[in-house]
Structure 1
Amino acid sequence: MAIQDQVASVLSASRRLLIDGRFVEPPRTSPSLNPATGAVLGEAPDAGVEHAEAAVAAARRAFDTTSWATDVELRIRCLDQLYRALSEHKEELRELTIAEVGAPRMLTHGAQLDEPVELVGYYAGLLREHPLTEDLGEAEYQGQRHHRWIEKEAAGVVAAIIPYNFPLQLALAKLAPALAAGCTVVLKGAPDTPLVTLALGELIAEHTDIPPGVVNVITSSEVEVGELLTTHPDVDVVSFTGSTVTGRRILAAASSTVKRVFLELGGKSALIMLDDADIRAASMYAAFGICLHSGQGCALNSRLLVPRHQHDAIAESVAKYLGKVSYGDPGDPKTYMGPLISERQREKVDGMVRRAVEAGAVLVTGGEKVDPGFFYTPTLLANVDPDSELAQEEVFGPVLAMIPYDDEDHAVRIANNSIYGLSGAVYGGDQERALAIARRIRTGTFSINGGNYFFSDTPFGGYKQSGIGREKGVAGLEEFLESKTFGTVVA
């Protein structure tokens, strides 16, 4: 089949839930919209509580009664198969991601698709070499010799719940290490981007030897479905990416069964421009950074901290580069920024911008809705109060809040003045000075002078209310493993 026919087929396909190795079509569906046009892209199956119950039961059964949790070679083979399937169907997934997520084509060659596919290959390779046992040697106790060792084993059934902004990246960042560890999974896609997640489930069912029940994929608009996954006694691990407000509720709900909970939540990351920074380079980094996927990224630097005496000059420079951000049709290879995910999200972003201006911030550029679709122009607000809503709350749009500071200590205090601690950045002419500032900021990831920290082997996660635990890298695998310590008397 020609690639054009494959693309047409994937965009018109009727998606199904994957439960216990079988495709399931619930009687109810919900529309998935193309955010670049506002038109209905397709109908997605809308799972009810009964489907979530069936998915958990299947995952529990697969974990308890099959060899998945103990057969390392099977898991390696299946991860290799999934990697090949994703690679072979990448162009179909690319078109679906552009259409449903509103992701610009150029971004699918990075964090929206190509990089997440490599995560699967990474974990297949890691499983081949990562030690699942640790010998502690012998020790004497009460006149006898005792041999001690540690074995790592799968944590159990995982409920993986993802948001809309990077559906494949977020799904595979949970799914790949969980499967490598030997866990079984119920993956719940976001209501705004169900089709991409369901397409992943179909590839798993049709192109891998992953046993029935090991991976179950559902999408639902019902709040009760998510609540069931986070409280069900047969779920051992909850891995959630989304808002901090929802994360708090999940943590509280999961406490009744004392299950393991990993949370990758919100961020209000700060980019600090030092007084010896290259203003041109830093301004470009700030402008294009906040417009990546229309600002719909938890780790994006949405606060720009600048020396007070350079505030106006930097505002002019950043505004110039925001004006160079191309936005529009996400299918166009030249488009840098696509739409927001929905009209609801656009209204939220616009409301925060309006309130910031009413509170005294200066709208330097942007702050406009563009139709058709859910576009919002790249926006800079200057002289923002560091304690204001715009400086403290996650916007999730292409909106940069510029805040002046008096000296380095003041900049550090402002950067750390947040309930979040996910990421951050610093630009400065003196590398050691910039690094010293970076080490004072309480976040889980940090960029120095444009350095990239986001790779398959680098742990990602945050401090404070940005989450609990880490994804990717060896740390991401360890999140899904339990440690069992053994001791035996030496004859």
Structure 2
Amino acid sequence: MTAKTVLHNFIGGESAAPADGRYEDLIDPATGEVFASAPVSGEADVDKAMGAASAAFEKWRNTTPSERQQALLKFADAIEARAGELVKAESQNTGKPLGLTASEELPPAVDQIRFFAGAARLLEGRSAGQYLQGFESYVRREPVGVCAQVTPWNYPLMMAVWKLAPAIAAGNTVVLKPSDTTPVTTVMLAEIAAEFLPPGVLNVVVGDRDTGRALVTHKTPQMVSITGSVRAGMEVASAASADLKRTHLELGGKAPVVVFDDADIAAAAEAIAVGGYFNAGQDCTAATRVLASPRVYSDFVAALAEQAKNTKTGAADDEDVLFGPLNNSRQFERVSGFVDRLPDHAALDAGGVRVGDRGFYYAPTVVSGLKQTDEAVQDEIFGPVITVQQFSDEDEAVAWANGVEYGLASSVWTKDHARAMRMTQRLDFGCVWVNCHIPLVAEMPHGGFKHSGHGKDLSVYGLEDYTRIKHVMHAL
């Protein structure tokens, strides 16, 4: 993308400038410099997008699953063909390493679209039957309608795919608002999709929190889906409740990583460091809250500190870096604030400093000696900071792991099969990994409990979330 590029909304199959002409600068987090401008859309823009989506729904809902599958498969092929262009744009907008974005984000996004293209042909209701003498019943599974969707800045392209693919596969139409700091690839996706989807099926409206509020409170959408912070999710749920809209909330996380004394310390430390530092820790499933048993605690802290010191952050074109900068200045201040406020009983074993004098780079960080009630343990930092606590026994490990308001993801590291089975049952999280952390596949659901929200992304369960159930009964 060239300097001073001007983005637009994408509504009804066409590029559209904001009605009131308002734009905001987009900042390259690797340099802190302006590289483009994007709309700050208002109610008129949202209303226009909702009108386009509503009109398109009347036809799209009646397409066959096969027709929707073919459109999505062509969309996936086009994304794959333009992978280099999308990777470059995603990297400039987020600071992500080019190589890792090309290998770890683009292929899963394409795969997930193809999965939902196939899953569209598998939706079905219960079999027909006479549950009352003389009456035949069956179930119809139908699209919900127009879906309002909001995506975050940590994985702009991938999160857009997680939202739009199941909704469109199920026969809905979409008005999607990307984060105001990272809208570039979402607009590109809409432009690519326009070649294969009828006008109005996928609309993108770019803007700030007020734009998002206008989206959620608009009368048209029957469902609101957001991936974002707990605060944002609560605001969406509150606003949607005023009109009894359905909500689908994938919110924050504070993943516990429980390391028992029989774990392979070196292998676990290496994998957890990758799971904690990938994407600068800006991942709601990041492996950033380690609970270690007494026998391995000291060795594990040392192993993690060594991993941190050998983990590199830097420019997107540097093939040796694991992660790039934090997304924006506010997030940089948030992450550094957590470290600056560490209590006296905590030890800073690695990192805790800014890297370089340009952009929003933060060093891989390890903090040990924390207590369960400490801020850095209880609150989502969303940065490259791994905390380590020492538990006394399995029961305390479970209590501490579950003792936060989040319930999205977790992992257990042990060679004891029985212990692993007990832990997977007792951990109150929507995902539990055993001797690994962070792999995701399109076939398995992703979503949390408690303040991490409700509803599932990915899998057939994610597709079903974008449908409604209708009972039909015939008198015979």
Aligned to 1:3: none
AA of the residue aligned to 1:418: V
Whether 1:160 aligns to 2:149 is yes
Q: How many corresponding residue pairs? A: 473
The whole-number CA distance in structure 2 between the counterparts of 1:406 and 1:133 is: 49
Whether 1:139 aligns to 2:131 is yes
Structure 2 unmatched ranges of 5 or more: none
The whole-number CA distance in structure 1 between the counterparts of 2:428 and 2:80 is: 37
The whole-number CA distance in structure 1 between the counterparts of 2:72 and 2:61 is: 12
Partner SS for 2:288: strand
Partner SS for 1:293: helix
Whether 1:18 aligns to 2:10 is yes
The whole-number CA distance in structure 2 between the counterparts of 1:155 and 1:331 is: 43
| 1:51 Cα offset (Å) | 0.5
Aligned to 2:379: 393
Aligned to 2:120: 127
Aligned to 2:89: 96
| 1:69 Cα offset (Å) | 4.1
Partner SS for 1:152: strand
Aligned to 1:75: 68
Aligned to 1:342: 328
Aligned to 2:198: 211
The whole-number CA distance in structure 1 between the counterparts of 2:312 and 2:34 is: 25
Residues 281, 352 of structure 1: alpha-carbon distance in 2 compared, 3 angstrom cutoff: same
The whole-number CA distance in structure 2 between the counterparts of 1:344 and 1:224 is: 18
Contact between 1:33 and 1:39, CA under 8 Å: does it hold in 2?
yes
Cα shift readout 1:359-379 (whole Å, capped 9, x = no counterpart): 421111100012211000000
Residues 331, 68 of structure 1: alpha-carbon distance in 2 compared, 3 angstrom cutoff: farther
The whole-number CA distance in structure 1 between the counterparts of 2:22 and 2:205 is: 13
The whole-number CA distance in structure 1 between the counterparts of 2:5 and 2:117 is: 30
Matches for 1:385-424 after TM superposition, within 5 Å: 385-424=371-410
The whole-number CA distance in structure 1 between the counterparts of 2:182 and 2:51 is: 25
The whole-number CA distance in structure 1 between the counterparts of 2:264 and 2:116 is: 38
Among candidates 403, 411, 425, match of residue 425 of structure 1: 411
Partner SS for 1:488: strand
Cα shift readout 1:82-125 (whole Å, capped 9, x = no counterpart): 11211111110011111111112233134432211111111111
Among candidates 42, 47, 56, match of residue 62 of structure 1: 56
Residues 110, 236 of structure 1: alpha-carbon distance in 2 compared, 3 angstrom cutoff: farther
Aligned to 2:337: 351
Contact between 2:293 and 2:391, CA under 8 Å: does it hold in 1?
yes
The whole-number CA distance in structure 2 between the counterparts of 1:13 and 1:83 is: 26
The whole-number CA distance in structure 2 between the counterparts of 1:401 and 1:23 is: 45
Matches for 1:475-486 after TM superposition, within 5 Å: 475-486=461-472
Structure 1 unmatched ranges of 5 or more: 1-7
Contact between 1:108 and 1:114, CA under 8 Å: does it hold in 2?
no
AA of the residue aligned to 1:118: D
Aligned to 2:159: 170
The whole-number CA distance in structure 1 between the counterparts of 2:392 and 2:232 is: 36
| 1:276 Cα offset (Å) | 0.9
The whole-number CA distance in structure 2 between the counterparts of 1:171 and 1:116 is: 9
The whole-number CA distance in structure 2 between the counterparts of 1:452 and 1:224 is: 33
Aligned to 1:4: none
Contact between 2:69 and 2:120, CA under 8 Å: does it hold in 1?
yes
Contact between 2:249 and 2:453, CA under 8 Å: does it hold in 1?
yes
- Further displaced range: 319-328 or 258-267: 319-328
Among candidates 199, 209, 224, match of residue 238 of structure 1: 224
Contact between 1:288 and 1:322, CA under 8 Å: does it hold in 2?
no
The whole-number CA distance in structure 2 between the counterparts of 1:399 and 1:301 is: 9
| 1:62 Cα offset (Å) | 1.7
The whole-number CA distance in structure 2 between the counterparts of 1:215 and 1:183 is: 9
Contact between 2:272 and 2:437, CA under 8 Å: does it hold in 1?
no
Cα shift readout 1:212-242 (whole Å, capped 9, x = no counterpart): 1111101102x22111211222110000010
Partner SS for 1:429: coil
Contact between 2:148 and 2:176, CA under 8 Å: does it hold in 1?
yes
The whole-number CA distance in structure 2 between the counterparts of 1:427 and 1:97 is: 33
Partner SS for 2:289: strand
| 1:429 Cα offset (Å) | 2.0
Aligned to 1:381: 367
Contact between 1:272 and 1:411, CA under 8 Å: does it hold in 2?
yes
Cα shift readout 1:416-438 (whole Å, capped 9, x = no counterpart): 00100000111112233223212
Among candidates 337, 341, 345, match of residue 360 of structure 1: 345
Contact between 1:435 and 1:448, CA under 8 Å: does it hold in 2?
no
- Give the alignment's Cα RMSD to 1 decimal: 1.6
The whole-number CA distance in structure 2 between the counterparts of 1:246 and 1:17 is: 22
Contact between 1:302 and 1:399, CA under 8 Å: does it hold in 2?
yes
The whole-number CA distance in structure 1 between the counterparts of 2:385 and 2:317 is: 23
Partner SS for 1:149: strand
The whole-number CA distance in structure 2 between the counterparts of 1:325 and 1:118 is: 29
- Further displaced range: 427-436 or 406-415: 427-436
Contact between 2:275 and 2:438, CA under 8 Å: does it hold in 1?
no
The whole-number CA distance in structure 2 between the counterparts of 1:368 and 1:325 is: 14
Give the TM-score taking structure 2 as reference length: 0.96
| 1:14 Cα offset (Å) | 3.9
The whole-number CA distance in structure 1 between the counterparts of 2:437 and 2:378 is: 25
The whole-number CA distance in structure 2 between the counterparts of 1:301 and 1:238 is: 29
Partner SS for 2:41: coil
Residues 182, 451 of structure 1: alpha-carbon distance in 2 compared, 3 angstrom cutoff: same
Residues 103, 431 of structure 1: alpha-carbon distance in 2 compared, 3 angstrom cutoff: farther
The whole-number CA distance in structure 1 between the counterparts of 2:302 and 2:123 is: 53
Whether 1:193 aligns to 2:192 is no
Partner SS for 1:257: coil
Partner SS for 2:431: coil
- Further displaced range: 263-272 or 99-108: 99-108
The whole-number CA distance in structure 1 between the counterparts of 2:13 and 2:246 is: 26
Cα shift readout 1:139-182 (whole Å, capped 9, x = no counterpart): 343xxx22111111100110010010001111111100000100
Give the TM-score taking structure 1 as reference length: 0.93
Aligned to 1:322: 308
Cα shift readout 1:1-54 (whole Å, capped 9, x = no counterpart): xxxxxxx67x87543211122210222221111111112121222222210111
| 1:67 Cα offset (Å) | 4.3
Partner SS for 1:219: coil
Residues 67, 42 of structure 1: alpha-carbon distance in 2 compared, 3 angstrom cutoff: closer
